[in-house]
Amino acid sequence: MELSTINYSKFINTVNSRRRPMITRELTKQVYNATGPVISLAEGMPNAQTFPFDSINFSLKDGSSFSIEGEELDMALQYLPTQGHPKLIKCLKDFHCRIHRPPVWHRSDLIITNGSQEGISRVIEMCIEEGDSVIVQNPLYSGTAIILNPYKPELIPIDQDEFGIKPTMLRRVLKQRKKLSMTNKNIKMPKLMYLNPTGANPTGTVMTLERKQAVYKIACEYNILILEDEAYQFLHFMEHIPPSFQSMDTEGRVLRFDSLSKIVSSGLRIGWVSGPKELIHAIELQMQAGCLHPSSLSQTLAYKLLNHWGYDGFMARMESIQDYYRVRRDITIAAMERHLTGLCYWSVPDAGMFVWIEVLGLTDVYDMLMTFGIKKGIVFVPGHAFMADSDQACNFIRASFSKVDPEKIDSAMASLAQLIREEQERLRLKLENCT
């Protein structure tokens, strides 16, 4: 199937199919993208001469520095086109092409968002009608679940192992669903598949190339868009990570979400969505009616920083971040081996910021963590927050090693071990009393 044969209107819900461009926003885009001089009396923008800032200076931890001043500062403090800062967009596109080499990039585009979370939210709100079905990896990122929940969707969970979701299970579920939908109009085939391929939150798994190829093939067969959430792409601990879904997307059915939050600054709120032009334009119309555009100052700072580093400098910076988090991961795993061996099972994460821990001998950990754990001064996330069915009993825990002081990790794992033993004892006494 060629990209041009995909009917993207199928993926845009009723409300968003009614959206039309805002004339003032479209004129702003034309003024910024003009190749020659333009005299514009169209934009309702404040005059930059009234802004109180003269220059902004930034010092980096490597000893280098740069400034934003003059016309560049005026732009950083002014309204921008909804798609984003033109120079930042060009920079990200250049980096994107070098990293992923998308086969249909000439028919794709990119839009800046307030972090990748806004991008995911925009796409789900653009595509989903109430009661639609959506394929999700199980467990899944809780931030995606809270976007989906108000639409009362039917989540189709596909279990993961250490290599990501299982293609055999995905194909079996879709084949059975297709058969049932032919005789039952209430059974809907999914339009979207949400995946977190690298450093999946919360499991830390990395999907292999073979898994991705198999999943992509299935998505093509059943005409499903893949939402590729890659906030942790550069936080991996492998010599090489498998190519992205977008790098193998010959049909134009991958919408990819990237972010600077984990690798530059979460407070900048800089993310971007890339994919087929038709769908990126639909996101742009949403944003014209909402936030207008993400922070101009944040976008200018991001551009200045990326331009300052250049591609090679950026990649070197990513390697140093990987080394930083690899050390924290190893400290965490060593502490778990000392204190949780025999009490828990876990896999060593290949990417991301988390360890996904299964507690042995317990069927549910919610009260243990949310009541007794907090009283002891240790905080972990109960696995319920990440399951497609959050009401079911769950004996998994997500532990984050990204922010806590390394010297406190051992103490936290020792306290968790004590907490588990106490919960096991409470359960034993409860069973004895029942008998």
Give per-residue pLDDT as tens, 252-301. 999 999 999 999 999 999 999 999 999 999 999 998 888 889 999 999 99
Amino acid found at 388: A
- Distance in angstroms (rounded) separating the CA atoms of residues 41 and 19: 26
Q: How far is CA 45 from CA 51, 54, 79, 209, 345, in A?
A: 12, 19, 7, 48, 58
Q: The tokens 């998505």 sit on which residue?
A: 219
Q: What pTM was estimated for this model as a whole?
A: 0.92
Q: Please compute the mean of the pLDDT values over residues 231-244 and round it to a whole number.
A: 93
Of 18-32, 162-176, 375-389, which range is least confident?
18-32
Cβ-proximal residues to 106 (8 Å cutoff; 6+ apart), any chain: none
Torsion 306-309-313-316 (CA) sign = negative
Q: What is the pLDDT of residues 82-124, one digit of tens each?
A: 899 999 999 999 999 999 999 999 999 999 999 999 999 999 9
Q: What's the rounded mean pLDDT across residues 384-398?
A: 91
Q: CA 110, CA 92: separation in Å to the nearest integer?
A: 8
Phi, psi angles (nearest 5°) of residue 397: -135, 140
Query: Which residue intervals of 12-53 are DSSP H helices?
Result: 14-17, 23-33
Least reliable range by pLDDT among 7-21, 83-97, 179-193, 317-331: 7-21
**Token pair of 231 as six digits:** 């906030």
Residue with token string 């795993």: 333
Half-sphere exposure of 361 (CA within 13 A, CB side): 16
Give how far the C-alpha of residue 96 lies from the chain's centroid of Cα atoms, to the nearest Å: 16
Other Cβ atoms less than 10 A from the Cβ of 37: the count is 5
- DSSP, residue by residue, 268-321: T-EEEEEEEHHHHHHHHHHHHTTTSSS-HHHHHHHHHHHHHHHHHHHHHHHHHH
Pairing label, strands 192-195, 133-138 = parallel
Q: Which whole number is the average pLDDT over 209-238?
A: 96
Going by pLDDT thresholds of 50, 70 and 90, the confidence category of residue 41 is: confident
User: Which pLDDT belongs to residue 22?
Assistant: 74
178 near 222, Cβ under 8 Å? yes
Residue with tokens 């805002």: 22
Amino acid found at 325 = Y
CA gap 290, 299 in Å, rounded: 18
Q: Which is more confident, 291 or 399?
A: 399
Segment holding 422, helix H or strand E? helix 406-434
Structure confidence at residue 13 (pLDDT): 85
The stretch 339-346 carries a mean pLDDT of: 96
Paired strand residues for 194? 136, 227
Which domains does the chain possess? 15-35+78-310 (3.40.640.10), 317-423 (3.90.1150.10)
Which of 90, 114, 68, 83 is CA-nearest to residue 304?
68
Model confidence at 128: pLDDT above 90: yes
Rounded distance, CA 341 to CA 362, Å? 15
Place of tokens 């479209």: 26
* pLDDT at site 430: 79
Quote the CA–CA distance of 41 and 23 in Å, as a whole number.
Answer: 14
Distance CA 81, CA 33 (A): 9
- Rounded CA-CA distance 67/9 in Å is 44
How many Å from the N-terminal Cα to the C-terminal Cα in the chain? Answer: 64
Distance CA 284, CA 268 (A): 20
Query: 29 and 83 in contact (C-beta within 8 Å)?
Result: yes
Please state the rounded mean pLDDT for residues 138-143: 93
Residues 226 and 255 sit within 8 Å (Cβ to Cβ)? yes
Per-residue confidence (pLDDT) for residue 1, from 0 to 100: 42
Residue 28 has pLDDT above 90, yes or no: no
pLDDT at 434: 76
Res 435: pLDDT: 65
